[in-house]
Amino acid sequence: MALEHKPDFADLLTLDTLDRDIFRGRCHEGAPMRAFGGQVAAQAQIAAGRTVDPDRRMHSLHGYFLRPGRTDAPIVYLVERLREGRSFTTRRVSAVQDGEVIFSMSASFQRPRDSDDSHRLRMPDVPGPDEQSQRWGPMLIAPDFPPFQLLDLRLVTSSAAPEDGMPRQYIWVRVDQPLTDDPLLHVCALTYLSDVTLSTTARRPHLRAGPGRLDLVSLDHAMWFHRPFRADDWLLFAQDSPTVGGTRGLSRGMFFTRDGELVASAMQEAGLLRH
């Protein structure tokens, strides 16, 4: 996806409708000539959302990255309508390129309902985004890469060797331009944002553990959306990695609003490949 100017974030998720439940999009690179997985997942969400009544909100997704996607060819998204319940709707999306499925996702939608039963984890006690001047690493490495110009990610702190053996990093994140009020756009934006940093939490302690370059390959990605939020407002992305082993690393993260409300959770397993 050639981007020669700073686009609207929504442009990254734009799909063409080819037929009922069939859509087409293009992706920019996350690695050289490899489509960015967060964008593929977010476009799959858009495809699923277009087949669901607008009064239903996506509350979870579970996706598997099966093959690398290319940036020089379109991706076709095929939506299957698995369930139309009174409260919940379920969709399966297959992202196809050159006749092969590169990504498969199941997504669930719910008609919003109020509940008196609720609890949530407290937000970690960290400095706010206005106190941070350091942008997250890749934002400094490739500041002229147009998709990165649309994001603002501020590293609060990271720990490569904590006492409990679990690396952590805390990053304030947001889309750095106003978004429309469409709830689907905000959950898709959060999926995109989550894939920028999540797997690096597992990689961090092992960067200098051996010879060669350590690369990441996303294997799967899951998201849960607990409460309404805006992806163009600051969210604290609190991340940790419970385990790395067998060339796979598991990372998890939680998103909090500035006033401490837990709004979404994410988990991802990635392959750690040393060259």
Catalytic residue among 43, 45, 169, 195: 195
User: Burial of 140 by CB count in 10 Å (0-12 exposed, 13-18 middle, 19+ buried)?
Assistant: exposed
Catalytic residue among 218, 241, 251, 265: 218
Torsions phi, psi for 14 (to 5 deg): -70, 135
Alpha carbon distance 158, 146 (integer Å): 26
Catalytic residue among 45, 251, 265, 268: 268
Residue 195 annotated among the catalytic residues of the structure = yes
* CA-based torsion, 137, 60, 22, 53: positive or negative: negative
Residue 268 annotated among the catalytic residues of the structure = yes
Query: Rounded to 5 degrees, what angle do the CA atoms 253, 258, 263 make?
Result: 45
CB 178 within 8 A of CB 232: yes
Known catalytic residues?
Answer: 195, 218, 268
